[in-house]
């Protein structure tokens, strides 16, 4: 019973400190949390928590503050996550319902996640090993210029302007568009290449079909590296008082390399993961906490998203938000 009560005291300290940013004393816990014991008993429990390295006293006569180890015990013992509010859920669902391509989904979602958590949000773009064609469009942009637009089954949109072609006939363009879609729909660049090579060899060279075919195949090749979208850096700057030195964290967010390495180290099936302070494998994040999750269709590309903030974080709310947004994104990609 005493061990469970000490965990209750730890939960109370974390909750109060996250809310007030002030060291927490036994009297505050006794008044605000119905633990059924006196302030003296709570003080004894706090002394034992301090001996265990879960809390510390920042200065004489002050209350107690959680350590990274204390936050870890708190996160590991979370019995429930705070659900997103109904307006927050509706905002995410409404946004995804009217989104038309993956770029719009990722950039909008990262802003929503930053607003909901009031932290820095990061969303990684899915980078499938092999992209499959949903549709190709060709738009005439002027004399001798075409815009080739490729839409993949994962919702990625790639486009490129092709120049230096002969004058183009609208009927030829319509025929070319139809032939390319018939030959490539649902296929990867490697799978569609034989049919497209044959099409390029047979078609009139004045339309520039070989150039368009090579452009399509090039746009369909897998991306060379991951891309990430970031929002809410101002949230971190406003909470600079929670860091001894915020500069390394801001540098890591600006350069993005640390974040891409962090995502690369994650297990895609791990669910929501929390790394706190020194648990982070990268020195730049040694003063921060990172809450990460994975999203994607079960049979398609997988990617990660997460939240970066101070260790003084509302973990239950943040973990719930990351989990919910990952689920919404997964459903979007599945459909």
In angstroms, the Cα distances linking 60 to 63, 134, 159, 230, 334 are 9, 66, 63, 40, 56
What pLDDT, on the 0 to 100 scale, is given for residue 270?
Answer: 63
Average pLDDT over residues 197-223: 78
Mean confidence (pLDDT) of the chain: 85
Tens digits of residue pLDDT in 17-69: 999 989 999 999 988 888 888 889 999 999 999 999 999 998 877 789 999 99
Could you report the per-residue pLDDT of 94-151, keeping only the tens digit for each? 877 777 777 888 888 999 999 999 999 999 987 656 678 999 999 888 887 889 999 9
Q: What is the pLDDT of residue 128?
A: 59
What CATH number is attached to the domain comprising 14? 1.10.10.10
Residue 7 and residue 72 in one domain:
yes
pLDDT in tens, 224-244: 556 889 999 998 888 778 888
pLDDT at residue 254, rounded to an integer: 85
Is 258 within a domain?
Answer: yes
Residue 63 sits in the same domain as residue 97? no
pLDDT of residue 11: 92
Mark whether 232 and 152 lie in a shared domain.
no
Pair (109, 240) in one structural domain: yes
Whether pLDDT at 268 is above 60: no
Q: Is residue 178 part of a domain?
A: yes
Query: Is there a domain that residue 65 lies in?
Result: yes
Please indicate, yes or no, whether residues 118 and 60 belong to a single structural domain of this protein.
Answer: no
CATH number reported for the structural domain that contains residue 270 in this entry: 3.30.450.40
pLDDT for the residue 67: 95
User: Where is the domain boundary, 193, 220, 247?
Assistant: 220
Res 206: pLDDT:
61
pLDDT at 335: 67
Q: Verify that 313 and 204 share a domain, yes or no.
A: no
Claim to verify: residue 257 and residue 299 sit in the same structural domain:
yes
Q: Does one domain contain both 249 and 318?
A: yes
CATH number at residue 201: 3.30.390.60
Q: Are residues 241 and 316 in the same domain?
A: yes
Indicate whether 326 and 283 sit together in one domain: yes
Q: Report yes or no on 39 lying in a domain.
A: yes
Residues 327 and 243 in one domain: yes
Give 161-200 pLDDT, tens digit per residue: 888 776 667 787 888 889 899 988 988 888 888 888 888 7
Q: What is the pLDDT of residue 225?
A: 55
**Per-residue pLDDT at 298 exceeds 80:** no
Q: Which of 220, 245, 279 is the last residue of a domain?
A: 220
pLDDT at 197: 84
Same domain, 122 and 236: yes
Residue 81 lies in a domain: no
Quick one: pLDDT at residue 83? 78
Task: Using CB atoms within 10 Å of the CB of residue 74, give its burial: 0 to 12 exposed, 13 to 18 middle, 19+ buried.
Answer: buried
Residue where a domain terminates, one of 220, 240, 257: 220
Average pLDDT of span 251-260 = 84
Total domains in the chain come to 3
- Residue ranges making up the domain that contains 49: 2-76
Q: What is the per-residue pLDDT for 106?
A: 87
Classify residue 208: in a domain, yes or no.
Answer: yes
153 inside domain: yes
Domain assignment of residue 275, yes or no? yes
């Amino acid at each position: 019973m005493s061990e469970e009560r000490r965990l209750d005291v730890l939960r109370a300290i974390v909750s109060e400190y996250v809310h007030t940013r002030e060291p927490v004393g036994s009297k505050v816990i006794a008044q605000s949390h119905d633990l059924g014991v006196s302030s003296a008993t709570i003080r004894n429990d706090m002394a034992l928590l301090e001996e265990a390295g879960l809390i510390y006293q920042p200065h004489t006569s002050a209350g107690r503050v959680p350590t990274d180890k204390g936050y870890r015990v708190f996160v590991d013992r979370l019995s429930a996550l705070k659900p997103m509010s109904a307006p927050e859920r509706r905002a995410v669902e409404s946004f995804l319902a009217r989104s038309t391509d993956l770029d719009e989904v990722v950039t909008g979602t990262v802003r929503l996640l930053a607003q909901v958590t009031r932290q820095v949000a990061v969303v990684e773009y899915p980078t499938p090993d092999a992209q499959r064609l949903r549709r190709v469009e060709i738009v005439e942009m002027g004399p001798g210029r075409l815009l080739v637009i490729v839409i993949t089954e994962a919702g990625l949109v790639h486009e490129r302007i092709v120049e230096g072609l002969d004058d183009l006939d609208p009927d030829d363009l319509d025929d070319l568009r139809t032939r390319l879609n018939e030959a490539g729909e649902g296929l990867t660049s490697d799978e569609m290449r034989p049919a497209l090579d044959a099409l390029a060899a047979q078609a009139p060279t004045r339309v520039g079909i070989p150039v368009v075919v090579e452009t399509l195949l090039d746009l369909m090749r897998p991306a060379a590296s991951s891309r990430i979208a970031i929002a809410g850096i101002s949230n971190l700057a406003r909470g600079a008082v929670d860091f001894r030195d915020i500069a390394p964290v801001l540098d890591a967010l600006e350069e993005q390399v640390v974040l891409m390495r962090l995502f690369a180290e994650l297990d895609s099936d791990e669910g929501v993961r929390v790394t706190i302070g020194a648990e982070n494998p990268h020195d730049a994040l040694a003063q921060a906490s990172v809450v990460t999750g994975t999203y994607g269709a079960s049979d398609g590309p997988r990617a990660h998203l997460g939240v970066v903030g101070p260790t003084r974080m509302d973990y239950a709310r943040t973990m719930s938000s990351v989990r919910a947004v990952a689920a919404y994104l997964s459903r979007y990609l599945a459909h």
